[in-house]
Amino acid sequence: MAKATQHELVIEVKNMCKNFGPTKALRNVDVSFYRGEIRGLVGENGSGKSTITSIISGMQKATSGEVFYKGAAWNPGSMVEAQKAGISMVLQEANTIPNCTVAENIFAGRFDEFSVFGIVNMKKLNKAAQEILDSFGISHIKAEDSINRYGFEDRKLIEIVRCVSDDTEVFVVDETTTALSMEGRQLLYKLIHKLKDNDKSVIFISHDMDEILEQCTDLTVLRDGEIIGHLDRSEMDKPNSEQVIRYMMVGREIGDAYYREDYDSSHGDKVALELKNVSLGEIKNFSLKLHEGEIIGFGGLSGCGMHEIGRIAFGLEKPESGSVERNGEKIKGCFEAIQSGIGYVSKNRDTEALILEGSIQDNIVLPSESELSHTTFISPKKEKQMSDKEIASFRIKCGDGRQWVNTLSGGNKQKVSFAKWTAKGSDVIIMDCPTRGVDIGVKQFMYGLIADMKKQGKSIILISEEMAELIGMADKIIIMKDFAVTKEFMRSKELSETDMIEYMI
Amino acid sequence: MSEKEKVTPADFLKRHVYDIAAYAGLIVTFILFLIFSGSRLSYNMATVLQAASAYSIIALGAVFVYSMGYMDVSVGQQVGVYAILMIMITNAMGGTAFGVVIGFLVILALALLCGAFNGAVAVWLKLPSIVTSLFLMFFFTGAQLLLMESTGTNSISIQATIKPADRNMYNVMLVLAIIVVAIIVTYFFKFSKLGKYTRGIGANEVTTAQCGVNTTKWKVIAYMAFGACVAVGSFIMLTRTGSAGKGTGSGYAMDIMICLILGGMPLSGGMKSKVSSALVGTFTYVLLTNDLTTMGVDLNLINFVKAVIFIAIIMVTCRKRDTILPR
């Protein structure tokens, strides 16, 4: 890589290839990482960003090629080995150990430092853990508490605390910020800048272009497993940099047609889904009417109750009082919900929405087996036809429908979890953070799909932590705070994020 | 969709390592069988077939349960009780063919009931299925002892003709029984909701439930399908022995588990579960036992040798975490 820099080279990747079966995730990649920089890695889902960092941090081996770390050949056997050598990585999905305390999680694998003759001094361990938590400014997390008490975001912060120590030389942040609120993000930004100032190297993977442009000092763009180019700070500061980067990522003009262009919030008269005075836990007497051809967006901070509304509407959570109805029938569980034409794209893609150790076809046809079954017989040909149709229309990047979902990139996985419901022909789709962790190309595709669904008269509940997405796509936006509705906005050209924020916090 | 790229032999080997290991095991044991059987080949073949018939039918049924990542340790005791009950009912009805039919229907009903119990209780009480099957194991151990106590003997024999007098005819009957059960199980496992849902439950129960699958119902059905195979397997075993006692069926549960593992069935269940595991594994296991005997291995040492081979196969087929392409 041609980089005129005074900074010292810390990691050098030479001619790296990585194959997953027939899929070539990396093709002869050459890239170098330097001290004192925050290097952004951007590219569409499946472009190879995480593959590079996961090889550097010991999660997996390259098929061919070399890595040099501090001048010596580097081939770590595990993430622990890499971490001990100073390379730490935080991932998008939860990576903490359940049923243990926060302190035990922070010092996992390092109990020797606190033990004498095999007996761990828990008091000392808890004290040291709390000191670290305090130094990171997250004193609300208590070292001796069980990790189960904390939500996804706090666990992510605990994970970050675990990863970073005085010995950290290279810190990899892999799409972690999507799991964090503004507060958590600020904390992480502060940390990576501190590391940079201390002459450490930070590799930052994100799909949030604003974040990348604000936080990174350098940028490397990948596409289809190849390095497309590098940008330094001055190039990133140019007014058209965002368009340039997007073009490099996708290989074509993304254009301005990103969200819905119309401001027509009209919809059918018929109610497609109704929540009547629903109460569950802290949610009290919540009512909602979703009409045919309507997109209702839900916004708020994590923990505001919007995700729970989605789960109640799909029958996953049974309300203590009130009811969920569709076509006059009560929805008592997700079985009835699906039978009545409701689909649900879960926020927890890898644990709830997909069978990772199953093929794309297995996943797509699973909700539709009853329709495919004829006197107990399910025709493999019909299954393949259904799956192939969805793979083609969603442009899922894969060999064929037999490919396992766990070999797909995040965006393609998300397409599979969408495809299940389009294959089923669901008329009401509840989407909980449908574009979380997916790149702009896939996002654009999904927004187009949502807009088409509306035109077809389908009804959508769009739960999202991204306000721009809600403003861009929803006919009506419901803002929630502390499990209650604080404001409703109708679709409007004038609506801005600042209008909404004051009702969230 | 991207263009399809060529799969290298190394990729193929990596992807099918478990199948290859399972089939290689079967081939090796079969070659040893051919070598050591010598002039007694045809007799030995019949012995292997007869020994494998009950095992393979029960293992075929167990595929439904194992594909969900569950197991059942009560099979052996169930087989014992069903055999004893069948003999008692048939004998009480004068050893007639009608008595045999009634006896079989009774044990079939009982097996279905136990299957339903196993599945339903595990779901309702949110217990691991092994716990409910442990309960059934103790229950059936007691029932087996009580039934035998009531006869006042150590062993009872059936007073009806339940197998063809001609040895060849009998072997054909066994082969047909295995084929019929294998076809039925394959149909339901590969081409019906039962197999698709049990594999889904094994791979990710939460996702399967969120796809509108009533997992409780299908777990119960899977256990009942297994129960039906246990009843048929018990009857097949009885045709071979003609008698039953306090020890009948002991060790069957572990043997079935070993057969399935040898055949490449993942203990965690899921989408990689296959019907062929039951047949490949059962015949590998029975051939292995036969080989060791014909090779002159001391009877007392056979179990040790089996253990070593078993561990070796597990080590070869030990499932690594599948390579995951990160985002």
What residue spans define the domains of chain A?
9-250, 271-501
Compare CB distances from A357 to B208, B210, B270 and report the shortest one's residue: B270
What are residue A73's DSSP bridge partners? A68
Both tokens of A122, joined, read: 């828990």
Predicted pLDDT at A142: 94
Share of chain A above pLDDT 70, in %: 96
How close A250 gets to chain B, by Cα (Å)?
15
Q: Residue B312 is which amino acid?
A: A
Place of tokens 């972690």: A176
Chain B CB within 8 Å of residue A376 CB: yes
**Testing the interface with B: which of A64, A335, A400, A407 to mutate, by most B Cβ within 10 A?**
A335
Predicted pLDDT at A151: 80
Predicted pLDDT at A497: 79
Predicted pLDDT at A1: 45
**Testing the interface with B: which of A42, A350, A355, A405 to mutate, by most B Cβ within 10 A?**
A355
Domain B18-32+41-317 has CATH 1.20.1250: no
Q: Which of B155, B162, B182, B163 is nearest to B52 (CA)?
A: B182
Predicted pLDDT at A47: 83
Predicted pLDDT at A251: 73
Output the CA–CA distances (angstroms, integers) from residue B69 to A362, A465, B217, B265, in the order listed: 18, 36, 16, 10
Q: What's the pLDDT tens digit per position in A285-324? A: 999 999 999 999 999 876 789 999 999 999 999 999 999 9
Q: Do A378 and B214 touch (CB under 8 A)?
A: no
Q: What's the pLDDT tens digit per position in B245-279? A: 999 998 899 899 989 988 988 888 899 899 999 99
Q: Which of A226, A213, A176, A209 is nearest to A26 (CA)?
A: A226
Q: What's the pLDDT tens digit per position in A216-270? A: 999 999 988 899 999 999 999 998 888 888 888 877 665 556 788 888 888 999 9
How close A423 gets to chain B, by Cα (Å)?
12
Predicted pLDDT at A490: 94
Q: Which of A65, A79, A82 is nearest to A12 (CA)?
A: A65
Predicted pLDDT at A257: 64
The H or E element that residue B191 is part of is helix B167-191
Chain A CB within 8 Å of residue B325 CB: yes
Q: Which pLDDT band holds residue A22 (cuts at 50, 70, 90)?
A: low
Rounded to 10 deg, the angle between the B41-66 and B193-203 helix axes is: 70
ipTM of the shown complex:
0.88
Q: Which of A196, A254, A279, A275 is nearest to A7 (CA)?
A: A196
Residues of chain A with C-beta less than 8 angstroms from the C-beta of B213: 335, 366
Q: Which of A408, A414, A416 is nearest to A21 (CA)?
A: A408
Q: Give the least confident one: A340-344, A380-384, B81-85, B120-124.
A: B120-124
Q: Give the least confident one: A94-103, A191-200, A282-291, A323-332.
A: A94-103
Q: What's the pLDDT tens digit per position in B97-116? A: 999 999 999 999 999 999 99
Residue of chain B with shortest Cα separation from A47: B327
Predicted pLDDT at A496: 84
Q: What's the pLDDT tens digit per position in A423-480? A: 999 999 999 999 877 777 788 889 999 999 999 999 999 999 888 889 999 999 999 9
What is the maximum span of chain A, computed from C-alpha positions, in angstroms? 73
Q: Which pLDDT band holds residue B82 (cuts at 50, 70, 90)?
A: very high
pLDDT averaged over chain B? 88
Question: Is residue A203 a contact partner of residue A222, using CB atoms and an 8 Å limit?
Answer: no
Chain A CB within 8 Å of residue B10 CB: no
Spatial neighbors of A235 by CB under 8 A, at least 6 apart, are A219, A241, A244
Q: Which of B265, B222, B238, B273 is nearest to B72 (CA)?
A: B222
Chain B CB within 8 Å of residue A374 CB: no
How close B132 gets to chain A, by Cα (Å)?
25
Rounded distance, CA A221 to CA A227, Å?
6
Place of tokens 């399910």: A378
- Which carries the bigger pLDDT value, residue A299 or residue A5? A299
Spatial neighbors of A70 by CB under 8 A, at least 6 apart, are A10, A169
E-state strands within B44-96:
none
Predicted pLDDT at A242: 86
Compare CB distances from A22 to B7, B204, B207 and report the shortest one's residue: B7
Q: Which pLDDT band holds residue B321 (cuts at 50, 70, 90)?
A: very low
Antiparallel, parallel or unpaired: β A271-280 and A321-326: antiparallel
The mean per-residue pLDDT over the stretch A180-192 comes to 85
The mean per-residue pLDDT over the stretch A196-204 comes to 94
Compare CB distances from A396 to B1, B5, B214 and report the shortest one's residue: B1
How close B119 gets to chain A, by Cα (Å)?
20
Burial of A145 (0-12, 13-18, 19+ CB in 10 A): middle
- Which carries the bigger pLDDT value, residue A70 or residue A175? A70
Q: Residue B323 pLDDT more than 50? A: no
Compare CB distances from B1 to A50, A54, A392 and report the shortest one's residue: A392
Rounded to 10 deg, the angle between the B129-151 and B97-124 helix axes is: 150
Q: Do A358 and B204 touch (CB under 8 A)?
A: yes
Q: What's the pLDDT tens digit per position in A391-422? A: 999 989 888 899 999 888 888 999 999 999 99
Q: Residue B322 pLDDT more than 60? A: no
Q: Which CATH superfamily is domain A271-501 in?
A: P-loop containing nucleotide triphosphate hydrolases (3.40.50.300)
The H or E element that residue A440 is part of is helix A440-455
Q: Residue A484 pLDDT more than 90? A: yes
The 10 Å Cβ neighbour count of residue B317 is: 18
The mean per-residue pLDDT over the stretch A66-77 comes to 93
Q: In what order do the strands lie in the sheet with A283-291?
A: A283-291, A271-280, A321-326, A329-330
Question: Is residue A125 a contact partner of residue A104, using CB atoms and an 8 Å limit?
Answer: yes
| Total count of residues recorded for chain A | 505
- Residue pairs spanning A and B at CB distance below 8 A: 139
The H or E element that residue A369 is part of is helix A369-372
Q: Which CATH superfamily is domain A9-250 in?
A: P-loop containing nucleotide triphosphate hydrolases (3.40.50.300)
